Amino acid sequence: MFEPQSVDDRYNFGGASLNNCEQQTVMNSILALRRGPIRYRRNAMIVCEGDPTDYILLIVKGVIRSCKTYRNGSRGIVAFHFSGELFGWSNDPIHSLSAEAAAETLVLFFKRSALLAAALRDGRIATYLLATTTNELRRAQEHSLLLSRLAECRVATFLTDLSTRMGDTNYLDLPMAHYDIASHLGLEIETLSRSITALEKSGSIARVGGRRALFLRDRASLERMSD
Amino acid sequence: MFEPQSVDDRYNFGGASLNNCEQQTVMNSILALRRGPIRYRRNAMIVCEGDPTDYILLIVKGVIRSCKTYRNGSRGIVAFHFSGELFGWSNDPIHSLSAEAAAETLVLFFKRSALLAAALRDGRIATYLLATTTNELRRAQEHSLLLSRLAECRVATFLTDLSTRMGDTNYLDLPMAHYDIASHLGLEIETLSRSITALEKSGSIARVGGRRALFLRDRASLERMSD
DNA sequence: CGGTATGTTGACAGTGATCAAGAAAGGTGG
DNA sequence: CCACCTTTCTTGATCACTGTCAACATACCG
């Protein structure tokens, strides 16, 4: 099941509040507990709502959507997670959300109990986990604010945030499907499509090539919509 | 400025993943660092967006709204915080959100640097902070899901959640103004008012007395809307 | 007892959802 | 490499939900 592979310091644990040296030490302590990686194909279920919270995930490569499925089959996407992000920490014994591969994805696993024990022993590990969770919280808060705004603004903000998060070039190759983006933004895909078209017509963005790639032509105007 | 008062174990640090005994120890360590409490009148600004994140807050009594103010003066409310909740932890040097009293409120303060130092020294303290932050994250996630649903459903869910959070009786004296609830739910106050009226007409809730108190007459039907 | 802040109700407009059709991209097998 | 099929995306027409504007009612506060 698990296929170990060499782990080097390419792994970036995004945004902890420790200094680099400490972060390195913490990272090594944590990585010593790893299992995996495992590869998932697009749309594969990685963690299901209701599964025990025995493992924490670290994304090596790809994109995961964290989502909830309603009775009627519709899906709400709480967040996307990218390479280098650690998530799935919980206080409860079972997951309240599913984690699914939004694209081809490679994932490392960490036993929750081992991490917790390490955290109690070494405050730096706990502090590191606290920092990543605090980051995620802030993202969730900003996202909930976003959902009260107009469709075009939600899309513009999503695009600039995504671009920043993925390396800050103005060429943006959307790694997930439109229907995933739409769910995440609380929109239908038709509205998402229309919003993209509107941004294109206003000159803020341009479609590139045949695939779902975009060029952020006027980032300032996109960001102006987000205030 | 700070008016120390006796601190006893009435303070409940809501939802940590430590056992009771450990939680008690941690609580005492944390409380030893307290400053305050300070009293705030309704609508008073406690922390302003952009303020340094030097202090963490513990609500002794009352309700705080965590919110963002836009250029046009409108306000988005990310969350409400109640008695016993600790919040305001951040990775950044400045707050991204304001904290304002949504009702008469009493607050204790903790120096962030002292808490962080204590957390690095004692993994249980860090783990405790991690648990409260994880709770807050989960709430924020569920809230963002809620915002994609119909107005009446948002209101129904808000009411049952609030009732549960405030002690689980079916009499619910709303501690904050309707306009705060509306902002929190991404609605206008007119829509909130209409939704409450609709829930009342359907028999799920009833208004009580002259003040903003409600009786959850059919909790099951309210919860059925939330799936 | 007024005066202000807050909440309710109605009429109408605007945004986004839904339904429907078609176009483009990606994958598969010949 | 092309034909064919499926999945994903785009566009249009219509409808429902919520926002906006306006008037009024009620609670709150000196």
- Using CA atoms, how far apart are residues B194 and B182, in angstroms rounded to an integer? 11
Is it the case that residue B9 has pLDDT exceeding 80?
Answer: no
Specify the range with the lowest mean pLDDT, choosing from A195-204, B16-25, B60-69, B98-107: B16-25
User: What is the per-residue pLDDT for A210?
Assistant: 64
CA distance B74 to chain A (A): 11
Compare B107 and A15 and report the one with higher pLDDT: B107
Is it the case that residue B181 has pLDDT exceeding 70?
Answer: yes
User: What is the per-residue pLDDT for B36?
Assistant: 72
Chain-chain contact of B126 with A127 (C-beta, under 8 angstroms): yes
DSSP state of B4: -
Instruction: Spell out the domain ranges in chain A.
Output: 7-146, 151-226
Walk along chain A (227 residues) in steps of 10 and give the mean pLDDT of each run.
Answer: 36 49 68 78 93 94 94 91 93 95 93 89 90 96 97 97 88 93 97 96 88 89 88
Nearest CA in chain A to B88: A134
B12-35: buried (b, 16+ CB within 10 Å) or exposed (e) per residue?
Answer: ebbbbbbeeeebeebbebbbebbb
Is A148 in CB contact (< 8 Å) with chain B?
yes
Query: DSSP string spanning B66-85?
Result: EEEE-TTS-EEEEEEEETT-
Mean pLDDT, range B180-187, rounded to an integer: 97
Burial class (CB in 10 A: 0-12, 13-18, 19+), A125: buried
B173 touches strand D (CB under 7 A): no
Is it the case that residue B22 has pLDDT exceeding 60?
Answer: yes
CA distance A149 to chain B (A): 9
Strands (E), B70-165: 75-82, 86-87, 98-101, 105-111
- Contacts of residue A138 in chain B, CB cutoff 8 Å? 90-92, 96
Q: The domain A7-146 is classified under which CATH number: 1.20.1260.10, 2.60.120.10, 2.40.50.1070, 3.40.640.10?
A: 2.60.120.10
Q: Using CB atoms, pick whichever of A127, A140, A148 lies closest to residue B120.
A: A127
Reported as half-sphere exposure (CB side, CA atoms, 13 A), residue A50 has a value of 2
Q: Do residues A152 and A192 touch, judged by C-beta distance below 8 A?
A: no
Mean pLDDT score across all residues of chain A = 87
Give the sign of the dihedral formed by CA B119, CA B120, CA B123, CA B126: positive
- Using CA atoms, how far apart are residues A185 and A120, in angstroms rounded to an integer? 37
Q: Do residues A75 and A181 touch, judged by C-beta distance below 8 A?
A: no
Compare A213 and B183 and report the one with higher pLDDT: B183
Strand partners, A77: A67
- Using CA atoms, how far apart are residues B201 and A93, in angstroms rounded to an integer? 39
Burial class (CB in 10 A: 0-12, 13-18, 19+), A51: middle
Q: What is the CATH number of domain A151-226?
A: 1.10.10.10
Mean pLDDT, range B66-84, rounded to an integer: 93
Distance B210 CA to C9 C1' (A): 18
User: What is the per-residue pLDDT for B8?
Assistant: 35
Sheet holding B105-111, edge to edge: B34-40, B105-111, B55-61, B86-87
Q: Using CB atoms, pick whichever of B66, B91, B135 lies closest to residue A17.
A: B91
Compare A21 and B70 and report the one with higher pLDDT: B70
User: What is the per-residue pLDDT for B34?
Assistant: 73
Is it the case that residue B78 has pLDDT exceeding 60?
Answer: yes
- If you search the block for the tokens 């360590």, which residue do you land on? B29
A206 touches strand D (CB under 7 A): no
Give the sign of the dihedral formed by CA A182, CA A186, CA A190, CA A192: negative
Task: Work out the number of other CB atoms within 10 angstroms of the CB of residue A220.
Answer: 9
Instruction: Supply B122's token pair.
Output: 């004692």
Compare B197 and A122 and report the one with higher pLDDT: B197
Question: Phi, psi (5° rounding) for residue A123?
Answer: -55, -25
Q: Which residues contact A32 (CB under 8 A, 6 or more apart)?
A: none
- If you search the block for the tokens 């948002």, which residue do you land on? B154
Q: Which residues contact A44 (CB under 8 A, 6 or more apart)?
A: A100, A101, A105
Interface A-B: count of C-beta contacts within 8 A: 117
Q: How many residues does chain A have?
A: 227
Chain-chain contact of A126 with B119 (C-beta, under 8 angstroms): yes
Q: Say what the alpha-carbon torsion angle B163, B125, B138, A87 is, to the nearest 10 degrees.
A: -170
On the question of a common fold for B7-146 and B151-226, the answer reads: no
Is it the case that residue B11 has pLDDT exceeding 50?
Answer: no
Q: Using CB atoms, pick whichever of A125, A136, A148 lies closest to residue B137.
A: A136
**A76, A80, B10 from B155: Cα distances, Å:** 18, 27, 31
Task: Work out the number of other CB atoms within 10 angstroms of the CB of residue A222.
Answer: 23
- Using CA atoms, how far apart are residues A206 and A219, in angstroms rounded to an integer? 11
pLDDT interval class at B167 (50, 70, 90): confident
